[in-house]
Amino acid sequence: MRAVVQRVKSASVHVDGQLVSEITSGLLIFLGISETDQQSDIDYLATKVANLRIFRDDELRMNQSLLDVGGQALVVSQFTLYGDCRKGRRPSFTAAAKPERADALYQAFMDQLSQMGIPVQAGVFQAMMEVELVNDGPVTLLLDSSKLF
């Protein structure tokens, strides 16, 4: 499971010109799910995202987590995070989970964040979305449940 996590002042998703979700201060999370992901990947990544100390404290140091600041999460499914661009000019997406399985794990990831007390908003699975955000920092991190960085 891969995530691009961005600290934001605000973020929103529109589909067909209609607002479908929005958050104020928190994290915009682009979530990619592979064929081999399972519950342990959800557990790892949800816990990591909720507890990353990337929000400023009173001394302006990145020392607080999403849980500490009472922030929100906007989670957008992003199968292209598993695009393999090593050969040729067109990415291969064979490592990405099939839609039915990916949607179930996407929902489970958001449910886990919610159970931790994080208000969660979602994109629309498999839709063409317009994602708007106001970066805070900017702070952008890459997380992967199968790799240690």
C-alpha to C-alpha distance for 59 and 132, rounded to whole angstroms: 29
- CATH number of the domain bearing residue 90: 3.50.80.10
> Which of 80, 115, 126, 140 is flagged as catalytic?
80
pLDDT of amino acid 8: 98
Number of domains in the chain: 1
The residue segments making up the domain with residue 68 are: 2-137
CA distances from 19 to 23, 74, 139 (A): 11, 13, 25
Q: What integer is the mean pLDDT of 2-23?
A: 98
> Which of 6, 72, 78, 121 is flagged as catalytic?
78
Of the pLDDT bands very low, low, confident and very high (cuts 50, 70, 90), residue 149 is very low
> To the nearest whole number, what is the mean pLDDT of the chain?
96
In a domain, 147, yes or no: no
pLDDT of amino acid 142: 96
Q: What integer is the mean pLDDT of 74-92?
A: 95
Q: Is 47 a catalytic residue?
A: no
In a domain, 25, yes or no: yes
Q: Is 36 a catalytic residue?
A: no
In a domain, 35, yes or no: yes
> Which of 30, 55, 79, 109 is flagged as catalytic?
79
In a domain, 126, yes or no: yes
Contacts of 18 by beta carbon, 8 Å cutoff, 6+ apart = none
| CA-closest candidate to residue 111, choices 71, 69, 73, 54 | 73
In a domain, 132, yes or no: yes
pLDDT tens-digit profile of 14-57? 999 999 999 999 999 999 999 999 999 999 999 999 999 999 99
pLDDT tens-digit profile of 93-124? 999 999 999 999 999 999 999 999 999 999 99
Q: Is 79 a catalytic residue?
A: yes
Rounded to two decimals, the pTM is 0.95
In a domain, 86, yes or no: yes
In a domain, 149, yes or no: no
CA distances from 115 to 56, 78, 85, 149 (A): 24, 22, 36, 27
pLDDT of amino acid 120: 98
In a domain, 142, yes or no: no
**CB–CB of 3/140 below 8 Å?**
no
